[in-house]
């Protein structure tokens, strides 16, 4: 299947974001907290996107902030998918009280908005990257649990899974060799969507003051730092907001293409 133009654009933009995040220290024109100009200067040869509220180069802070934002979002997404998918598969395979217990616990957690839980937890815990990643990963694992359980329930009734059970294969074999390979397509597509949710979530927490703390920087914190400039017609706050929107669009374009390639589970076969 030929990749559509929209997916190609999304893939290229996503690759550029990842490249900048990995090599931020090498390609950023200035250090993260270096004051290199006046307050809220416009674009110039020395500062392509201008300066912020205390004279720091916006482009450099965008690159460094993107590294932190993407790292935290990616790490929390990996935790949420590792935990959520395993528990979802386990609930689908085991059934009974394990399925009911896990499902009711997830329902309880999802009944309360994730942002409220995060704000309460982060208000009493020391705020650092490890705590942020764990809190975000645990909260988002509930959504992954619901998806993986639903997908695994459909796969678990397939003939090849029943044949594996009749052969006497254990639950680990059923989960990792029969269910997981046939659930990868929807899970990979969902991973892109949950990654963007994590980017928006950490940006929201930082804007509210409970996310990434100085001297580190992220895009949500940059919006908060420069929001007063909007009153004077300065665009410093718009640049990180534009970066968040562009990353969300590019990853969603790729995720939509992966979803369009997802085939019916009925044709699947265990590995």
Domain boundaries, the chain: 5-267
- The encoded tokens of residue 32 equal 């993260």
pLDDT of residue 262: 64
pLDDT of residue 160: 82
Average the pLDDT over 247-253 and give the result: 93
Average the pLDDT over 228-235 and give the result: 83
Mean pLDDT over each residue of the chain, to the nearest integer: 88
Q: What is the pLDDT of residues 13-47, one digit of tens each?
A: 999 999 999 999 999 999 998 998 888 888 888 89
Architecture category of domain 5-267 in CATH? Orthogonal Bundle (1.10)
The span from the CA of 221 to the CA of 242, in Å, is 14
Instruction: Pick the range with the lowest mean pLDDT from 36-45, 63-72, 241-250.
Output: 36-45
Instruction: Pick the range with the lowest mean pLDDT from 83-87, 163-167, 189-193, 261-265.
Output: 261-265
Q: What is the pLDDT of residues 149-163, one digit of tens each?
A: 999 998 888 888 888
DSSP codes, the chain: -PPPHHHHHHHHHHHHHHHHHHTHHHH-SS-TT-B-S-TT----SS-TT-B-TTSBBHHHHHHHHHHHHHHHHHHHHHHHHHHHHHHHHHHHHH-HHHHHHHHHHHHHHHHS-HHHHHHHHHHHS--SHHHHHHHHHHHHHHHHHHHHHHHHHHHHTSHHHHHHHHTT--HHHIIIIIIHHHHHHHHHHHHHHHHHHHHHHHHHHHHTTSSSPTTS--HHHHHHHHGGGGGGT--TTHHHHHHHHHHHHHHHHHHHHHHHHPPPGGG----
Q: What is the pLDDT of residues 115-160, one digit of tens each?
A: 999 999 999 998 899 999 999 999 999 999 999 999 999 888 888 8
pLDDT of residue 69: 95
Q: What is the pLDDT of residues 188-216, one digit of tens each?
A: 888 988 999 999 999 999 999 899 988 88
pLDDT of residue 263: 52
The span from the CA of 125 to the CA of 120, in Å, is 9
8 A C-beta contact, residue 236 and residue 52: yes
The span from the CA of 213 to the CA of 159, in Å, is 52
For 209, 211, 235, 242, 250, the CA distances from 71, given in Å and listed in that order, are: 19, 13, 26, 19, 17
pLDDT of residue 205: 94
């Amino acid at each position: 299947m030929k990749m559509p133009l929209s997916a190609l654009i999304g893939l290229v933009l996503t690759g550029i974001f990842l490249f900048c995040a990995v090599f931020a220290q090498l390609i950023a024109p200035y250090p993260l907290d270096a004051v290199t100009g006046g307050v809220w200067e416009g674009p110039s040869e020395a500062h392509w996107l201008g300066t912020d509220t205390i004279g720091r180069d916006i482009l450099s802070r965008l690159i460094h902030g993107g590294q932190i934002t993407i790292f935290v979002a990616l790490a929390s997404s990996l935790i949420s998918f590792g935990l959520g998918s395993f528990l979802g598969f386990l609930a689908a395979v085991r059934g009974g009280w394990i399925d009911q217990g896990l499902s009711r616990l997830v329902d309880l957690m999802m009944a309360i908005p994730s942002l409220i839980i995060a704000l309460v937890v982060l208000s009493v815990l020391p705020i650092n990257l490890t705590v942020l990643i764990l809190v975000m990963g645990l909260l988002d694992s509930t959504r992954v649990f619901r998806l993986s359980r639903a997908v695994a329930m459909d796969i678990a009734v397939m003939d090849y899974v029943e044949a594996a059970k009749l052969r006497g294969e254990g639950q680990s074999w059923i989960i990792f060799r029969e269910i997981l390979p046939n659930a990868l397509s929807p899970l990979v597509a969902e991973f892109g969507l949950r990654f963007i949710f994590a980017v928006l979530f950490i940006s929201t927490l930082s804007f509210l003051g409970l996310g990434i703390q100085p001297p580190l920087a992220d895009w949500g914190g940059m919006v908060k730092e420069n929001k007063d400039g909007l009153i004077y017609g300065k665009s410093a706050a718009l640049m990180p907001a534009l970066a968040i929107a562009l990353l969300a669009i590019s990853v969603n374009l790729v995720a939509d293409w992966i979803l369009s390639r997802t085939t019916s589970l009925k044709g699947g076969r265990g590995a």
